[in-house]
């Protein structure tokens, strides 16, 4: 069974600060997705990384896939209250049976 | 292009009853997966359907079942509801099976069992 561990589990910061959340596994994944979920809503796909060492940027968000494709990180620059949410990483196998981490709950205070 | 639509959004049922949840995937998507999300367990995979066939199944009891229709719409059914079945049930659609395919989620159905 492929497991994904996310850290930290909870993160509370002030607006304008930078942060990094991590997604780690002992298994190799063919791809990895990052999602953001707001309370009572479904996860929204942010990015997919597929190549070891790949870096993708989405405005203030930077995603990196580890060289060995076993880990990933999400860095947010100058966090805003609108970034508040649950950040989930998911590793593919078959898309229909992605393995999800338990998530990092981020709170950005104004 | 419309997103994934789940109905109903909210549902309250009594222990012992059964419930059916519906999911309409993104047009053209043939793969539909179902997940249960609870605060303590996170996102747990229930099952996946592709072209009307169940392709994968998670570790849930037989009270949880599903099906997919020829238009790719999917339903999941939970029989003999238990208090522990209270959760957010999420449906995700993908354009195809296979590695690296992204899943797009609906808003979920919040089921409360009392």
Three-state secondary-structure class, residue B103 = coil
Mean pLDDT of A40-66: 93
- Is the model's pLDDT at A60 over the cut of 70? yes
Residue A30 to residue B43, Cβ atoms within 8 A: no
> What is the C-alpha to C-alpha distance for residues B55 and B48, in angstroms, rounded to an integer?
6
A-B contacts (CB, under 8 Å) = 82
Q: pLDDT tens for residues B77-113?
A: 999 999 999 999 999 998 865 555 678 999 999 999 9
Q: Which residues on B lie below 8 Å from A69 (Cβ)?
A: none
Residue A96 to residue B88, Cβ atoms within 8 A: no
pLDDT of residue A95: 47
Q: Which residues on B lie below 8 Å from A43 (Cβ)?
A: 43, 90, 105
Min CA distance, A75 vs chain B (Å)?
21
pLDDT of residue A15: 97
Q: What is the pLDDT confidence band of residue A104, given thresholds at 50, 70 and 90?
A: very high
- On whether any CB of chain B is under 8 Å from the CB of A12, the answer is no
- On whether any CB of chain B is under 8 Å from the CB of A22, the answer is no
Three-state secondary-structure class, residue B85 = helix
Cβ contacts of residue A59 below 8 Å, gap of 6+?
none
pLDDT of residue A106: 97
A25-34, A60-69, A94-103 — most confident range? A60-69
Half-sphere CA count of B53, side-chain side, radius 13 A:
3
Residue A96 to residue B103, Cβ atoms within 8 A: yes
Residue B33 to residue A96, Cβ atoms within 8 A: yes
Chain A 24-43, residues with CB within 8 Å of chain B CB atoms? 30-31, 33, 35, 40-43
Q: Which chain B residue shows the shortest CA-CA distance from A48?
A: B102
Query: Within 10 Å of residue B33's Cβ, how many Cβ atoms?
Result: 29
Cβ contacts of residue A77 below 8 Å, gap of 6+?
A18, A60, A61, A62
Min CA distance, A100 vs chain B (Å)?
6
Cβ contacts of residue B23 below 8 Å, gap of 6+?
B4, B5, B6, B32, B34, B73, B74, B75, B76, B91, B93, B106
């Amino acid at each position: 069974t492929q497991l994904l561990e996310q850290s930290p589990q909870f993160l509370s910061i002030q607006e304008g600060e930078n942060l990094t959340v991590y997604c780690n596994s002992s298994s190799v994944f063919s791809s990895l997705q990052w999602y953001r979920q707001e309370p009572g809503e479904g996860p929204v796909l942010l990015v997919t990384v597929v190549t070891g060492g790949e870096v993708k940027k989405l405005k203030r968000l930077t995603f990196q896939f580890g060289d060995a494709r076993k880990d990933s990180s999400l860095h947010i620059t100058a966090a805003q209250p609108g970034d508040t949410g649950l950040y989930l990483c998911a590793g593919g196998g078959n898309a229909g049976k992605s393995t999800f981490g338990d998530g990092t709950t981020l709170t950005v205070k104004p | 292009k419309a997103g994934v639509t789940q109905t109903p959004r909210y549902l309250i049922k009594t222990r012992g009853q059964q419930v059916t949840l519906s999911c309409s995937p993104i047009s053209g998507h043939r793969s539909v997966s179902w997940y249960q999300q609870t605060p303590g367990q996170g996102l747990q995979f229930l099952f996946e359907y592709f072209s009307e066939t169940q392709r994968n199944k998670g570790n849930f009891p037989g009270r949880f079942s599903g099906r997919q229709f020829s238009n790719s719409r999917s339903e999941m059914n939970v029989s003999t509801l238990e208090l522990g079945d209270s959760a957010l049930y999420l449906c995700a659609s993908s354009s195809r099976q296979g590695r690296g395919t992204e899943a797009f989620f609906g808003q979920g159905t919040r089921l409360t069992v009392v």
